[in-house]
Homo-oligomer: A and B are copies of this chain.
Amino acid sequence: MTPDAIARIKDSFAAQKMMQTLGAEILEVSEGLVRIAAPVLDLATQQQGFGHAGLTFSIGDSAAGYAALTMLPLDTEVVTSEIKINLLAPARGDRLIATGRVVKSGRRLCVVTAEVHAEAGGTSTPIAILQGTMVPVPR
């Protein structure tokens, strides 16, 4: 990817106030793959004290959306058309890592997946998988 293409992703991410609220940051941007990390902040917990499904969803959805964006022209943004999440385990640990991947990139639709892991101590546990569709829109 060109520096411009990577900067475009990082600029868009920085403009998402929801990502700042959740303490999320981009770890990796490469063609067809974006990795996002977020701590399990107290402000994003559910009633049992684990990370809320909305936290896991938010970073999984963003990683998948930006993965789609890595394969689109520079004057494009993406919006989520639909996405489904299967939760595998509670979101507990030091931080969550979401990895978004492009399955098929098209002019009108991009099919994407994401997986989210929770890191605690030295171990990494899969906590969710997502599968969805992103739609390119003019920037």
Interface residues of chain A, those whose CB is within 8 Å of chain B, are 12-13, 15-18, 20-22, 42-48, 52-55, 57-58, 61-62, 77, 79-90, 103-104, 108-109, 111, 113, 126, 129, 131-133, 135
Contacts and interface: CB of A to CB of B under 8 A. Distances in A.
B81 A109 contact: yes
B77 A87 contact: no
Contact of A18 (B44, B77, B85, B88): B44
Given A16-B52, A21-B43, A113-B131, 4 more contacts: A18-B54, A82-B133, A84-B85, A84-B131
A32 B86 CA distance: 18
Contact of A16 (B46, B62, B88, B109): B46
Contacts of A88: 103-104, 111
**Majority-rule SS of A interface residues:** mixed
A12 B47 contact: yes
A79 to B, nearest CB: 7
Contacts of A62: 54
A53 B47 contact: no
17 contacts: A15-B47, A16-B47, A17-B44, A18-B43, A18-B52, A18-B54, A52-B58, A53-B57, A54-B61, A80-B87, A82-B86, A84-B85, A86-B103, A86-B131, A88-B103, A89-B104, A103-B129
